[in-house]
Amino acid sequence: MKRISIYYTLLLAGLTSFSACNSDRDSNPVLQEPTTFVLNTPAYVNTTYDLANSKSVELTCSQPDFGYTAPTIYSVETSLTKDFKESIKLDTKYTTAKMAVDASEMALAVTNMAVAQGKLETDFPLTTSLYVRVIAELSSATETISSITSNVVEFPSVRTEFALPPVKLPTKLYLIGEFCSWDWGKAADMIPCHDGTTGTFWRMVYLPEGGIKFNTATAWDKNEIGYAGCKTVDNYGAGVSDSDGNIGIAKAGWYLVVIRSAVNGRNIEYTIEFNEPAVWLIGGVIKDGGDWTECLDGWKFTIPAKADESFVSPAFAADAAEGPRAYVKIDGFDWWKSEFMVFGEKLTYRAAGGDLDRVTSKTGQKLYLNFTNGTGKIE
């Protein structure tokens, strides 16, 4: 009887161990790499899909066998060629094998791919073949564990209207370089010519020998423009050259830097000019009754030798209730579209804003402007 009890105990222990192994196997499934994954051909694939007048394109596919039930993420990839040499994966992800693909998202992809092939906005609406496939992924929180790509389905006739937003001229530009130790926090804001919609900017800046770049954001976001990204015009002997991709400056000194932008197709083309750092007076301080002649001889400021020194105007020749008016001359623009004045010792630019306030002045006074510090005074 005692021997039977021992045998029974051993048998029970063995069964328990076997059950535990089965339980471990169930809770730790083995990954199986799927070998088949089918994207179904839609029933109406041979009709014309008008993406502009459709809400979605319905896609269905099989569920890949990863060896166990697991949440699968599906992505849709599109191409204008069957070999998918150039393709775009849509941003939207799906968690089921039935997908209502946003027609506008698909139209954006088609437009981008067509433009990359040289199509212009005037070529749209465009009817073309579109090739689609689906990628199924099994992922953890940190990585893709397994993935499989479906077969390709051709949509022979897809009509697409131009889906890209219009290319707009920049409203902000920032200048960076040796003059600010390549620190975006100290970059110079380029001043827009009034009324801020022309894509033309200017800045009076002291440039040491070295290089500069510019960007629409204060960041190294791979959109910064260097020598190869713009046309350079040296009107003041700056010695402009390609300096390791930067816009190189050989001669240190003050420059009126002007950046012009223009839309060409889907691109923005830039021209940067290095001009004489000329600052001018105009208006009531020139003579009794005023003189509004641009760039009038004898009314140009002196140019300082150093970065931290001031530009100084000629002595005012008349009292002016409306005070002095100061500006830099930008070719193609009236003087008042690039004017500025000192208010409470702060240099203020008209830029894209309205008319500046007036300050009073007396005969014999001068206007002092420190463009580096953004300060000035009348005395």
Tell me how far apart the alpha carbons of residues 207 and 250 are, in angstroms, rounded to a whole number.
10
Residue of 363, 362, 367 whose CA lies nearest to 378:
367
Tell me how far apart the alpha carbons of residues 249 and 239 are, in angstroms, rounded to a whole number.
6
Tell me how far apart the alpha carbons of residues 237 and 258 are, in angstroms, rounded to a whole number.
15
pLDDT higher than threshold 80 for residue 25: no
pLDDT higher than threshold 60 for residue 12: no
Do 38-160 and 173-275 agree at the fold level?
yes
pLDDT higher than threshold 90 for residue 10: no
Q: Which residue has the higher pLDDT, 7 or 350?
A: 350
DSSP 8-state assignment for residue 285: T
Residue of 54, 61, 39, 63 whose CA lies nearest to 131:
39
pLDDT higher than threshold 80 for residue 72: yes
Mean pLDDT of 199-208: 99
Q: What is the pLDDT of residues 217-269, one digit of tens each?
A: 999 999 999 999 999 999 999 999 999 999 999 999 999 999 999 999 889 99
The three-state secondary structure class of 185 is helix
Residue 17's pLDDT is what? 47
Residue 20's pLDDT is what? 46
pLDDT higher than threshold 80 for residue 21: no
Residue 321's pLDDT is what? 85
Poorest-pLDDT segment among 3-17, 320-334, 362-376: 3-17
What is the architecture of the domain spanning 173-275?
A: Sandwich (2.60)
Mean pLDDT of 120-128: 95
Q: Which residue has the higher pLDDT, 21 or 63?
A: 63
pLDDT higher than threshold 70 for residue 211: yes
Percent of the chain with pLDDT over 70: 93
CB-based contact 318:362 (threshold 8 Å): no
Q: Which two tokens stand for residue 48?
A: 């014309």
pLDDT higher than threshold 90 for residue 31: no
Residue of 366, 312, 20, 348 whose CA lies nearest to 189:
348
Tell me how far apart the alpha carbons of residues 320 and 163 are, in angstroms, rounded to a whole number.
56
pLDDT higher than threshold 70 for residue 201: yes
Residue 4's pLDDT is what? 43
> What secondary structure does DSSP assign to 199-256, as a single string?
SEEEEEEEE-SEEEEEESSSS-SS--B-GGGSEEEESS----EEETTEEEE-S-EEEE
Q: State the pTM of this model.
A: 0.76
- 298 CB-contact burial (10 Å; exposed 0-12 / middle 13-18 / buried 19+): exposed
Residue 375's pLDDT is what? 98
- Class of the domain covering 278-378: mainly beta
Q: What is the CA radius of gyration of the chain?
A: 34
CB-based contact 155:39 (threshold 8 Å): no
DSSP 8-state assignment for residue 16: H
Residue 28's pLDDT is what? 64
Q: What is the pLDDT of residues 131-185, one digit of tens each?
A: 999 999 998 778 888 999 999 999 999 999 999 999 999 999 999 999 999 999 9
pLDDT higher than threshold 50 for residue 5: no
The three-state secondary structure class of 320 is strand
Look at strands 231-234 and 267-275 and give their pairing.
parallel
Q: Which CATH number among 3.90.25, 2.60.40, 1.10.3470, 2.40.50 corresponds to the domain 38-160?
A: 2.60.40
pLDDT higher than threshold 90 for residue 277: yes
All structural domains of the chain with their residue ranges:
38-160, 173-275, 278-378
Q: What is the mean pLDDT of the chain?
A: 92
